[in-house]
Structure 1
């Protein structure tokens, strides 16, 4: 048995009797019941495939999938989304869920199980994206052969009903030799920039069109959306985004998923409008290192990110920081760096930051002052809280003055000076190039579709033996002022060419 392609909407399987030796097997010898069973199986399989194909190429199906993606997009905008990097860390995910539980209550676990805290990476969104992509590809495969035939082998002869009922139609009485009239008709159509194809079946039939390749603009548009969706999926699967990467002035931090990359903040500057006090600009002077070697240096602003390879660093936010120094009992420096106060306490909105001490079972949290009215942490002070790193048990809580070494938990803490930190959004999106290509294709498809409308026209020239006849002209399509005017001008020129005295 061999596979044989049969005509129809989908390829199927058929038995090729020539594949068997007549002496060994005769097709006619197939038992009727077996033949009927085979036929039923093939028909059932073909019916399933055709049903799936009809579904994928259905406009209604595409609209339903698109609506589903839109609904998920709205949910993703309305429901707080888990920060990048937290989803993969089970402990961080539990802490994050505990933080949002007061807001969502008993719905928290339900929303999490439905992946609505991570909508754009959920199985629902990815599944709908895949369905939409497959549907668009199926539509392109279905339409492409017909568009190719129309462009290369158009139908020249149409029935009388078309000339009687077409939206734009006219009939011209002609006089003269049929061949000469046909030449004149062709000349007028070409003067109006039509491609002309004709055939003679007793009457001379004309097919004329302009911008015959323009309908492929819709396929380019479909392809563009497929490429954009592919770029989005590639970015979601193989890229990452960290919207909470913070560095204090003078500090260096390892870049998440940067493979040997680290970033140093030299300085941060912010400026404000004098009339409203709103920020007018804020900029971070950054140095990017790869395995300890400087590879890039740039002042990053909101609309001017630092790019290196597939990584992009976007200016996102900023805030206060503190430079802290911690020494051991023997005078050795355990920590000396800037600490970003990038979070806030839930009870009073106090800026806080944290760091750990190498070789010590201690986690340190530092809290900033609320201003002149703060009795717990006065201006020029910072509150130091120490916790047992292994158990989370609190150890000490002491407010210390700037520049004064203070012993806390057996270690000397010094609040050196106030700083600022910068918050960056770090992203790597390998699908960006696909999104750009798809966007260019989408613009090209729309430009072709709207700037070069495909116009078709049929004409039939019938001349009786006495030299008198008719030239019927008709064009399909929707009502349009431009189409009406173009058709009227064309018929006027045809009438002048074939019905005037020169045609007699």
Structure 2
């Protein structure tokens, strides 16, 4: 008779909260550091970068961002809250970036340990049945087994080998080659991590500044403060202090154009000071061209564009004059028809009363054409090079708002001043170099010509050299992982009469073409009677 024990199965004690939290964290870590997760994060990083290419970015052009939001009153603010206009500094892009680095490091460290363990260990013993391997051959030689072992080791001198002796007197030689394939793979992935870290370091501690410098050999630029730049974009961990000092001035600028007006090359001769030369009369010359920046330590100075800066002289009724050269903004990228504005404050003593002085300020606003073409009195430009310059300007008199403390565009007058009648139009004229016009109160406005200006960008990236190093090692590691083959060969030797029976088996760790021919070559070295194409022997 069978007796069934119906006593309840004792319940296992429930793990403590700490152990459950530890198990959950361990599982989460394993998921995060899996290669599948790393590939998903890499794909997400590529997808997350797409809005940065499609939408205007605030750190590059804040004006374009404002225009985009104003044109889309519903969608624009939503995208702004999602940080779509600051993609590469957004919290979600940074989170993907950081998780990708953690995942890659978590994947690579175990692989590195495994590879070091494989390098230190001996090649694996020969399988029991070599005939089951993809490459196999049998043969015999007349030499004794000891001499044959020496010959095999000579042929395999560039392989990692180990010789084992069996109980029945047979010998087996295990040989392996191609460890550099995994080294190249690891170098590629660790270089990718290094590249990500270097790029992130450059974004954190670097900066970019853009400035317009008149090409007349004037004061130019000294990299001492963000205030010297027209726009300054510091990294997240940079406050603009402690800039690497250097000074430069633009001596001249020249542009080469095709017949259709398309620019072919920009060239500017500059002079610069750095290091011990700062504050002295020693200037170093440099020929600055597009994609040929001036490199000063971690600083790079790029020539990114150019334009024209008209020069005007205003002579007031008492004979005192002011001359100003100011850049105009190109309106047409093909012909370089440009627009801008200038403001002139009367010299000291011309109008002793401050209110009267303010009422007699002069403002100019209009167009500049490097190669003038007129349709009646309407000015346009026919070619981007300065062959026949002219201006079409409106002349205003009154309060220009220079001393109000309100920021104003250097390319446009304050329309509120005009609408309120505080700035009154006096004349509209077209002028060529040397021509002038006289207002009713005797004030003379003369167009003196124009200078070209260079648009320079100064970039500071403390990790730029490391980016290059990691990019080169990435390519080297990738090439090694694609070219080098990981393969194994086993040679089993048995006494056979007065000679030695040899059995060879080969296995490629990766499916690569070319291993079969190498196996055939080894067989021909060991067995003179081996055929030129060794087939699988089953």
Contact residue 316 and residue 423 of structure 1 kept, 8 A = yes
Displacement of 1:285: 2.0
Displacement of 1:407: 6.5
Displacement of 1:268: 1.4
Counterparts of 1:325 and 1:167 in 2: how far apart (Å)?
90
Aligned residue runs from structure 1 range 66-145, under 5 A:
66-84=42-60, 93=62, 95-101=63-69, 104-145=72-113
Aligned residue runs from structure 1 range 163-242, under 5 A:
163-172=130-139, 178-190=145-157, 193-202=158-167, 203-242=170-209
Counterparts of 2:440 and 2:294 in 1: how far apart (Å)?
40
Counterparts of 1:207 and 1:325 in 2: how far apart (Å)?
91
Counterparts of 1:135 and 1:166 in 2: how far apart (Å)?
37
Instruction: Tell me if 1:302 matches 2:290.
Output: yes
Aligned residue runs from structure 1 range 428-443, under 5 A:
428-443=460-475
Task: Report the CA distance shift for 1:419/1:466 in structure 2 as closer, same or farther (over 3 A).
Answer: closer
Displacement of 1:357: 6.8
Q: 1:388 aligns with which of 377, 381, 401?
A: 401
Post-superposition Cα deviations, 1:53-74, rounded to whole Å, max 9, x if no partner, equal 342232x222212212222333
Moved more, 130-139 or 372-381: 372-381
Aligned to 1:268: 253
Query: 1:110 aligns to what SS in structure 2?
Result: helix
Q: TM-score, normalised by structure 2?
A: 0.70
- Mark the runs of 5 or more structure 1 residues left unpaired by the alignment: 1-32, 87-92, 499-504
Aligned to 2:214: 248
Q: 1:484 aligns with which of 516, 526, 529?
A: 516
Contact residue 485 and residue 512 of structure 2 kept, 8 A = no
Moved more, 364-373 or 139-148: 364-373
Q: 1:373 aligns with which of 356, 375, 387?
A: 375
Displacement of 1:302: 0.9
Displacement of 1:434: 0.9
Counterparts of 1:456 and 1:407 in 2: how far apart (Å)?
95
Task: Calculate the aligned-residue CA RMSD, in Å.
Answer: 4.1
Q: TM-score, normalised by structure 1?
A: 0.74
Counterparts of 2:325 and 2:508 in 1: how far apart (Å)?
73
Contact residue 58 and residue 86 of structure 2 kept, 8 A = yes
Post-superposition Cα deviations, 1:373-418, rounded to whole Å, max 9, x if no partner, equal 2746694443456743545532244545455376699997654322
Displacement of 1:439: 1.9
Q: 1:160 aligns with which of 113, 125, 128?
A: 128
Contact residue 313 and residue 448 of structure 2 kept, 8 A = yes
Counterparts of 2:441 and 2:142 in 1: how far apart (Å)?
113
Displacement of 1:240: 1.8
Task: Report the CA distance shift for 1:466/1:138 in structure 2 as closer, same or farther (over 3 A).
Answer: same
Contact residue 486 and residue 508 of structure 2 kept, 8 A = no
Contact residue 88 and residue 94 of structure 2 kept, 8 A = yes
**How many residue pairs end up in the alignment?**
449
Contact residue 121 and residue 236 of structure 1 kept, 8 A = no
Displacement of 1:423: 1.7
